A = this chain, B = another copy of it.
Amino acid sequence: MITIAAFKWVPDFARGFVRDLRLRWALEEAGIPYEVELIDSEMQKSETYRQWQPFGQVPAYRDEEVELFESGAIVLHIAATSKALAPADHPGQAQVAAWVFAALNSVEPRAQNYIHLRNAVSEDLQKAITAKLHDRLNALSDRLGDEDYLEGRFTAADIVMTTVLRELAAEEALSGFPRLQAYVDRNEGRVAFQKALSDQLADFDR
């Protein structure tokens, strides 16, 4: 049986955006059942939890084979077992991994700075932070072109990229990027995403 760790409580603005959503979504797409272990702030600091998740973040993941942390690594681990999330061949899985890293290292840091820092810095720096984000969004939009998905079909790459982009969409920061907004809308429309989202939200009321 698979167990994932999620937070017992987060402020309202973070609900629906916590990163265990990536795992829930991937597991729903793959049709794999899972249990949720809710972590409170005391457990988060504990030695026991730090053994599982060294930084005290969520998500963390456990199955019969491995204990893992980092949403990107966990999503790729799940994707390696399900054709719903990636091609079965190594080259296809490596391409999916490239896009997962792109989402988490080339796009997300710039998106997070845009969301969390731009209102606290000088006008010049605000422009620089916005330009750095737009550089990546333009490149991503160009690459996506008229395709529905990053790798020709829906994969784990779209799960991770969508979760990064939908935080920008929530800030209305994709209005100049209609292809990316449509990409987020398309992926958020999936049954598996909606189920994952409502399950994350429901767990805060448990």
Contacts and interface: CB of A to CB of B under 8 A. Distances in A.
Looking at chain A, what size class is its interface with the partner chain?
35 or more
Contacts of A101: 70-73, 101, 104
Contact of A143 (B54, B68, B91, B143): B54
A184 interface: no
A139 B98 contact: no
Interface stretch (A3-11, A32-40, A108-116, A172-180): A108-116
Interface centre among A66, A73, A91 (most CB of B within 10 A): A73
B109 A108 contact: yes
**Copies of this chain assembled into the complex:** 2
B70 A95 contact: no
B68 A94 contact: yes
Q: Interface majority SS on A: helix, strand, loop or mixed?
A: helix
A122 interface: yes
Contacts of A99: 70
Contacts of A73: 94, 97-98, 100-101
A12 B65 CA distance: 46
Nearest to A89: B65
A140 interface: yes
Contacts of A95: 66, 68
13 contacts: A50-B139, A50-B143, A55-B106, A55-B136, A56-B139, A65-B90, A66-B90, A66-B94, A77-B97, A113-B113, A120-B121, A121-B122, A121-B125
7 shortest interchain CB distances as A-B pairs: A70-B101, A109-B109, A73-B98, A72-B101, A54-B143, A73-B97, A104-B105
Interface of A: 50, 54-57, 65-66, 68-74, 76-77, 80, 90-91, 94-95, 97-102, 104-106, 108-109, 112-113, 117, 120-122, 125, 135-136, 139-140, 142-143
Given A66-B95, A70-B102, 5 more contacts: A55-B139, A66-B94, A73-B101, A109-B112, A120-B125
